[in-house]
Structure formats: structure tokens, C-alpha cells
Structure 1
């Protein structure tokens, strides 16, 4: 216990001095030091590796023996600013593991305060328990924990999620096929499963991953045909027609589109959650914790009423499993988009602009020159040159983002900043200056299109402009944002009901364009 001013006897001395007509300052006693109670994060009694974990919430209740304490000031810095009234609990969850020092001030009605500090250690998260379909051998468990798969009736060499990327595993909707391994997860405690999925037939229920009891799957991550939603479900009992604690996606699932799914069960909070492309969709509290599933983990099907069913139809890749509930931040990192091309336009030579990604989509220059850029240098075009890759860079029927800086020399002359070329004169995607405005464009067909979706933004000559075009294949939207080097303001335009199609044409920059282009990025996925 510590007191800022120390002695209540000072009040007696001051009173005696006043009787003798002497003015003496009155010493005010500070309140008794605060203490706290909690259920998870404690200063003693935790395991050697620490208490709780990232994202694991706890409730702190502060108290002091002094009756005149009116509030507590608390936090994890030396001079915290968060305040709470006496008797009111606060909830806290750590964002990172490691040592923590909790600072708590007891503050009385006179504004006097006393500090206590409490040290505890937040346990580091458990590493992933299994990782499949992420390397050259789809049967191999990349986590190192030995949960290798037995594959049956699968195509292990389907096209990857990105052009030139690792192949994916194909499933043809046959319940006799799939991938299996012995028990992986403790289904009575926190669990997480996640994968990139591409569904090609949504006419019936589909399961991407599950773990089996004797009669029922303890959990299922997949698709519900009745609602046309992505789902994650926990069965309460190992029995036919068991009640399911199910969470669903907000929007309908779109077939043919790569989508990232994550299902979590947090045994501490009792919540089941579903994330789609890194965004939480729905969460429900679980009354029954489920049952201990001692059977196999299946990829590509589920167990319902003692029978294998809900066979996956489509592709799966990068599937992971944890014996804990991962945090929202970890989910966002799992669903990260793939950068498939990045041209800085400052490290090439007279004929080549180097792609700094591992995909090595270097651009060959024709009639383009080096000049000032938004950074150290960029490409200059006079309306007659271009830069192009030797192969396709994007799947334009999947979600993608093109991010580039451009500067017009003048207005009135149309030109293309970036395009992925299609057959004949029809490109599946182009980012252009149409002579008056910037325009992100996608036609509705490769031959004789009847419609072109355009998201537009204002164009200003002589000014480096940041252009970001995004196609969201799940939401069916095409967006264009326009910003400038010297202002934080961004103009954004979005058009709906867009249906992209794919071409294996090359990526080009600067065709018929008059001005500068710099720092071009191509990403497979949606970047907010």
C-alpha cells in the first residue's frame, strides 16, 4: 500500500495550529492502493507459458479499501487514461502475447490517487495443427505434425488460385472420394478450420472439411443449398438429426469464385463464428459444447446419419486447422490477397521493366521511355508506345485489383493506362482515360458485347493521380477510386451486377496513352 501524502495525523497538527492562529496547509491522505480480481489474467497461478491468449477476453474488477474512492484509472501504459466507476467491471482482450503490466490508479472524491501495478504473461497462441494443399504434395501435412492425408478420386493438378500459382485439388462431388486422416482436432475445446474454396455446383449441400463421430460430424465447414449460404456448424450430439449450432454468410455464395472461409469455435466465450474473405459474418453462442469426435477428419465430405454425404464439387486449397479459436486479425491475414505483379518502373533498362514479385511477369517496352515518376522514376508514353508482359497476369473472372499512378499530359486524347488483353479487340478489363474521365471498364462478353460496365472518375491533366480499380466477383461490383498525390480526398465510383469473364491475354500498360505511368500493382483479390 502506498500513500501520496502519507499521514492523517497531519490533520490533528493542522487543527492545533489553527487554534493558535497559525495557518498551516492540511495534508490530505491518498486512498488505499487498488487491487483487482479476474478469472484469466492473474499475477500468480498461471501455467509457465502464461495465461489466456491473443483475443481471449477477461473481466477485471477493481477495488480499494478506502470508502471515498469514486473511480479507477487503468491501462497498460504508465499514465493510463481509461476510467471506470467503482463496482463496474471492464472487459479486456490482448492483441499480442508476452509480458503485460497493468497500471491501476484508485482515485478518491478529492482527486487524490494511488497507483498499483500488476504483472502477468499472456500465453503465445498455439501453432497450427495441420496444413494441407499448400505445397507440391497435396497429401503432405505442412505443419510438421504428421497429419498426412489419404487421397481418393481427386484431381491434384487443377489450375491454381492465381495465374502461374500452385495447383489446387479438384473434387467431383463423389462421396466415395475425398481426403482423410486420423483425428486431428479436440472438438470439445476451441477449434478453427479454414480454406480457399471454389464451388462449381451448388445444387446440393457441400462440405469442405469435417471431423467424425460414430454417427455425425462434430463440425462442418461448407455450403447450404437451401439458403445458398456458406456455413459453419457444430453438432450438439453424436446422433442422427442432432441439433446444429450453425452460422451463415450474409450474402449468397457465388459458384465459380474463389472464396476464403474460416470457421471458429471459442470454448472460452462459447461462440461459433464464420468468416468470409476475412470478414466475420455471423456468430452464435453455444449452449451445448458439442461432443468429442474421435473419428477421422475428412476433406470434401461429411457424416450425416452414419453415411458419407455432402461431397464437395469444385476446388480446395490452403486448408488449415488449429486446436484453438484464431483471432479476427489472424483470419484477415489468412485471407490476404495475392500480389501477382508489381512494377516499380525504376529498376529496368531500355527494353525491360522488371516485375518484383515471384511471378516474374517482366514487361517488354516498345516506344516507352523512362522519365520522372511519382517516385524516383516512371514510364513515359507519347501515344504510340506500350509495355506488355509475355503472358496473362490476372484471372479476370475472379476478384482482382489494379493499383497504379498515372499523369495526363493533357486532356482530350483517349488512351489506356492498363488492360488485360482479350481476343480480337475486346479486353476483359481496361483502365482508361476516355478523353474526359478515368474509366474502369469490363464488357459482358468476349465477342460482340452488348454492354460495358464502367466505373468513372474525374481526370485532371498535369497531376499524378492514384487509380485503384477493383472487381469483386462475389459482390459482382466494379469500383474505381481516384486520388491525388497532394490530397487525402478520394473519389469513388461503383457499378453493380458485373459479370467478369477470363482471357489468357497479356497485360499491357500505356497503349495510346499520352503521359506518365508509375508503380503498377496487380493483385488477385479485393483490396479495400
Structure 2
């Protein structure tokens, strides 16, 4: 019982249907004692009916075990006693877990491991009543409640637990653990274990195909060069930026042996284990939906078959991430496919993730996890080679890719979904000014935003003068352009245009910047002021030399000159025996200068 005031319940009846009212008495006593006539409650109701009555507060002790019986009274006689039932009062939630420790991620303040690198965390049982704990709930998310957190069973021996999990973020991580008892209650407090995680070191292998020819260099710096067949060529990359690898259905690239790396803080080179956590990712563009059943972007191979394969499944016209159960001929294949059909000629970002703890395969398409996953049975470490554009099956190379691939990556950990989504965003648009980048103040300019053929892009967002990106304009067609004419304003000088490309999934590119210049003849304005009264002077004639310019101040004392080139000028005025004169430098942006009348003669010089 989870309360000290539980309800005792039963059903009362009397064969004498003329008896309309019955009373049932409920008796309880501590196990080991005898039933008594003091600890009892009653409930009256009709014949027949269900009856229930709560035991009064203060009658039971938390942790005590009690027996109870009931019998019914019809006003004249008692019926037979019911059978004896027992219950234990357990009104206190379990204590929080004992200490959490980890040799992989010690709480010493120094960063250890990395995001996606699994670590073992030992959860000690509570010091008090450890046998009450059935499972432990845990989370790295401060907003997660114990009722929705992941769980791990307590051991039947010492009632602790061993949790193997990969930290979700670099920097400070906080693992929260609650105890949960057999009654389904959680400890009111969580045990919090705080530790620091190194930033991810990035891919173990990364091929961008930016070379002018020859083999593909591993730009991760780990030396996993991919030897390319002669028929593998370079073509313009996504949005025409850089180069990608074009494959004709017969050529491929091969890294001999497994991909290897040296992790930060370590001196030993180790292989990427594909029987542990790993992630593969790439941009791919198929030429046609027809063709071989499999077209492989990246694969890790054993001696007889592939261990993993990321690519296109022609039979179902879907993207696919697959793994095999054993390195043998005709092994069991476990696959996840994309929700939507692949689109020929369109660059698509693919990522396959294998989580060893749950043996789960997940496929991401354009940064979005697909709706189905699959659990692998078996699996093995691929040690023979890693191939771009093909895989191994029954000892023979097959699954050659026809199309283009780019930015191929292999990680030895579970890459963060947010970072996979970031890999899938469009490239920034190109910004051009077809009529030039210079306009007079008050005029207009035309700007063109160009997706440069990336058919994922359907929209542009832009802003003039700031980075607010508050205006949206559609592309003429997917991967096309948008042309906008805008007012440049009156502020002279260089001004920015910011823009981003947006694809059909509302994924936003990085920021692109264009610059234009607003020009025009400068202007000088100001006010003639009497120095004694500090009032503006109307009707004063202001002269500007060289050029013979004159301006008569209005009622507000204001004057202005326009229509002259930038340079050095002298401003002068006189009015009713008072004079002012100043020599100033006027820039293309113009200036403002007040003239203060003093008794003549008087000349003041300065620059602004």
C-alpha cells in the first residue's frame, strides 16, 4: 500500500432480498497480533452492493504489515468472516541512489572521452533499503522527468546497476539518476554526477575530392587515402562550389584496410570498429532511378561481404543503410530505407548511424531521421577495406554507383543528430549586382540571389543594411535565382546585403554577404547663430568658396549647399556688423556646420 489510509473494500449481499440495508465491518491488525474489536470501520449500503471504507489516519505505521477481514451485519445477525488478506504499508518513496562513478568519465574536472564515445557508469544502490529498488531512471536532460527517463534494471545481487552510455554533448555533462521501487515510485531526489567531455574530434576519414586529379586525400589528417580508379573523375560540386567525385557505374575508390585514426590525447593508431558505435555520411546524386539494385556511396568490407553499406536501392528507389550479420556468403542483411523516393539529379545528404548498445540502425536523409529503424543480429568489424562507390558481396565487388558523391565521412562515434542536420543545409547563395554595385543616394539597385543549380533550394531570405533577413523571395525554379530591386536610401558609403538560401525542408544555409556603395554629390548644411543671444539669425547671406555659392538663411537660420565636389571650402557670413568664417573639409558623405556670428572682424578656422 502506498498510503497509511488505504481503503478496505468488498461486496456485501444477503439471500433475504427483503433486507434492504446491510452493514459491513472491516477489521485490521498487525501481523503477529490477534484480530480485535477496536481496530475496525464500517460501511452501510444496499443489498447487494459494493462497500469500501478508509482506515483512519494514525492507525497504521509506514513499513508495517497488516491482516484484515470483513463480515456483514443485517441488523440481527452477522454473516461469516471473509478470508484473511494481508498488505504492507509503503508510504515512503525510495531513497535516491548511492554514488555514481566512472573510470571512463571521472568527475575530476578535466575533459575525458568525447561526444559519442561510450563510457561505463557504476550506480551504487541506496545505503538504506537497497532491496526496494527495482530499476534506476536516468537522463542527461535537465528537463526530463523520471517518469519519462530511460531506465536500467537493478542487479538482484547488490541492487546497483552498470550503465553504458555515450555523453550527448561536449563540455559539462550532468547525469541524473533516480531510484524506482516495486510500487512504481521514484526517489524524490536524483543523484547527479557531473563530468566533462572533450569536444568531438571529427571524422576518422573525410574525403572532399577537391584535388585536381589522382587519389582522394583524407582531409581529416588521419592518412586514409582513397585510391581512385582511372574512370573516376571530378565534376563541379554542389551549387557549383568545389569539386565532387563522378562515378560511371564501373569506377570506385578504395582505402586499403580499415579506416584508422589517432584520438586526441592518445598515441596509438586504432581502427574504426564497425561492431561498435559509428556514423557514415555523404552527399549523393544519382543519375537515374533505374539501374542496379544497389548503388553504394560508402561501404566497409570484410573478406566475403560488406559489414555496412550506405547508398541507393534501385529495386525500391529509396536510399538505404544496411549491415550484415556475418562475414560470409549470402549473409542476413538488415536495412533501413528512406521514407520518400530518391530524386534523380538532386543532391541529397545521407547519414547512417549504428548504435552498438541497442544494435539499432538509423538512416538520416537531409538531416532528418527516417521513420523506421532496424535491430541488427550479429555484425562484425570490417577490416579488409573501405570503398567509395562499391561494396563486396560473396567475395566480389558489386553495387557500383552511377552519379556523383561528395563530402564523404566516417566517424568512430555516434554523431549528434543536430550536427548531422547541420551537414545537410544548403550552401550560401551567390549575390551579384547585374547593374553594378554603385548607386546615387535616393536611387535603386538590383541584386540577384543564385542557388547555382542546387535544386534543393526554393527560397531566399535577405535584408539590406542589416542581418535581419526579414524579407523572403522565391527562386524562379528549384535551384534557380531571385531578382530584387530595392531603394538604396540616402546614407552615403558602403552598405551590406545579407542573404541565405532555404531548401524545401526549411533548412537554412550560412549567411552570404554582398556590398554596394551609395554615392552622390556632398551636401553641407547648418545654422547661423548669434553668439550673444544664441538665437538663429534669419536673412543672413552665407557664402562658400571656391565656387561662388550663396545661400540666404530662412526664418530658422538654416542654410544649405549642394551640387559641389568634395574638398576644402571656406564658409563665411556677415549680418548687422557681425561676421563668421571657417574653412572646413567636406567629405563625399557631406557635413553639418553651424556658423556663430561675432563682432566683425573675426575669423575662426577648423576642420570636420
Whether the TM-score (by the shorter chain) exceeds 0.5 is yes
Q: Which residue of 1 aligns with 2:210?
A: 135
Q: Is the 8 A contact 1:402 1:523 kept in 2?
A: yes
Verify the 8 A CA contact 2:317 2:342 in the aligned structure 1.
yes
Equivalent of residue 170 in structure 1, options 228, 239, 246: 246
Q: Distance in 2 between matches of 1:321 and 1:76?
A: 26
Instruction: Identify the structure with bigger relative contact order (alpha carbons < 8 Å, sequence gap 6+).
Output: 1
Distance 2:137 2:275 in 1: 38
* Number of matched pairs: 371
Partner residue in 2 for 1:222: 311
Query: CA 1:86/1:63 → structure 2, altered by over 3 Å: closer, same or farther?
Result: farther
**Preserved contact between residue 459 and residue 502 of structure 2 (Cα < 8 Å):** yes
Q: 1:520 Cα deviation (Å)?
A: 5.0
CA contact (8 A) 1:339 1:524 kept: no
SS at match of 1:331: helix
SS at match of 2:419: helix
Distance 1:86 1:304 in 2: 41
Question: Offset of 1:287 from its aligned partner?
Answer: 4.0
Conserved? CA contact 1:208–1:222, under 8 Å:
yes
**What is the correspondence of 1:457-476 to structure 2 with a 5 Å cutoff?**
466-469=470-473
Task: Tell me, in whole angstroms, the C-alpha distance in 1 between the residues paired with 2:113 and 2:461.
Answer: 43
Cα 1:61/1:250, change in 2 over 3 Å? farther
- Alignment partner, residue 37 of structure 2: none
| 1:314 to 1:86, Cα distance in 2 relative to 1, 3 A | closer
Q: Measure how far apart 1:136 and its partner are.
A: 3.3
2:40 — aligned with what? none
Q: CA 1:83–1:192 in 2, change beyond 3 Å: closer, same or farther?
A: closer
More displaced 10-residue stretch of structure 1: 285-294 or 144-153: 285-294
Which SS does the other structure have where 1:339 is aligned?
A: coil
The answer to whether the 8 A contact 1:396-1:502 is kept is yes
Deviation at 1:214, TM superposition (A): 1.6
Q: 1:510 is paired with a residue of what secondary structure?
A: strand
- Contact kept in structure 2, 1:31 and 1:114, CA below 8 Å: no
Instruction: State the structure with more CA Rg.
Output: 2
Note the 1:368-387 alignment, pairs <5 A. Answer: 381=444, 386-387=445-446
Change (3 A) 1:370 1:105: farther
Aligned residue runs from structure 1 range 315-334, under 5 A: 315-334=404-423
CA distance in 2, matches of 1:392, 1:115: 53
Query: Which residue pairs with 1:509 in the alignment?
Result: 484
Q: Residues of 1 paired with 2:377 and 2:101: CA distance?
A: 32
**Which of the residues 289, 312, 322 maps onto 1:233?**
322
User: Which residue of 1 is the match for residue 283 of structure 2?
Assistant: 196
Tell me the residue number matched to 1:34.
96
Distance 2:486 2:95 in 1: 72
Aligned counterpart, 1:395: 453
Residue of structure 2 aligned with 1:181, choices 252, 255, 258: 255
TM-score (norm: length of structure 2): 0.51
Give the alignment's TM-score, normalised by structure 1: 0.58
1:95 deviation in Å?
3.3
1:277 equivalent in structure 2: 366
- Distance in 1 separating the partners of 2:306 and 2:179: 51
Question: Secondary structure of the equivalent of 1:233?
Answer: strand
**1:252 maps onto 2:341 in alignment:** yes
Partner Cα separation in structure 2 for residue 85 and residue 212 of structure 1:
39
Question: Displacement of 1:115 after TM fit?
Answer: 7.9
Deviation at 1:400, TM superposition (A): 3.8
Shift of 1:123: 5.7
Q: Secondary structure at the match of 1:35?
A: coil
**Contact 1:61–1:89 (CA under 8 A) maintained in structure 2:** no
Aligned residue in 2 for 1:22: none
| Compared CA separation, residues 102 and 317, structure 1 to 2 (3 A) | closer
Counterparts of residues 74-473 of structure 1 (less than 5 Å): 82-83=145-146, 94-101=167-174, 117-122=192-197, 124-136=199-211, 139-163=216-240, 165-174=241-250, 177-182=251-256, 183-184=258-259, 185-203=272-290, 204=292, 205-341=294-430, 361=432, 364-365=435-436, 381=444, 386-388=445-447, 394-395=452-453, 397-404=455-462, 466-469=470-473
- Classify 1:315/1:101 alpha carbon distance in 2 versus 1 (closer, same or farther; 3 Å): closer
Cα pair distance change 1:521/1:117, threshold 3 Å: closer
Secondary structure at 2:239 match in 1: coil
- What is the aligned counterpart of 1:65 among 121, 125, 128? 128
Q: Is the 8 A contact 1:338 1:524 kept in 2?
A: no
Question: 2-side partners of 1:306 and 1:199: how far apart?
Answer: 25
State the shift of 1:157 in Å: 3.0
> Which residue is equivalent to 1:439?
none
User: Is the contact between residue 62 and residue 86 of structure 1 (CA under 8 Å) also seen in structure 2?
Assistant: no
**What SS class does the counterpart of residue 46 from structure 1 fall into?**
coil
Residue equivalent to 2:602: none
* Structure 2 unaligned spans of 5+: 1-91, 154-162, 182-186, 260-271, 490-494, 508-608
Structure 1 unmatched ranges of 5 or more:
1-29, 342-354, 356-360, 372-379, 407-463, 472-477, 479-499
Distance apart, 1:395 and its partner CA: 1.5
Question: CA-atom RMSD, angstroms?
Answer: 4.7
Alignment of 1:489-500 (within 5 A): 500=477
SS in 2 for 1:272: strand
* Inter-partner Cα distance in structure 2 for 1:213 and 1:278: 29
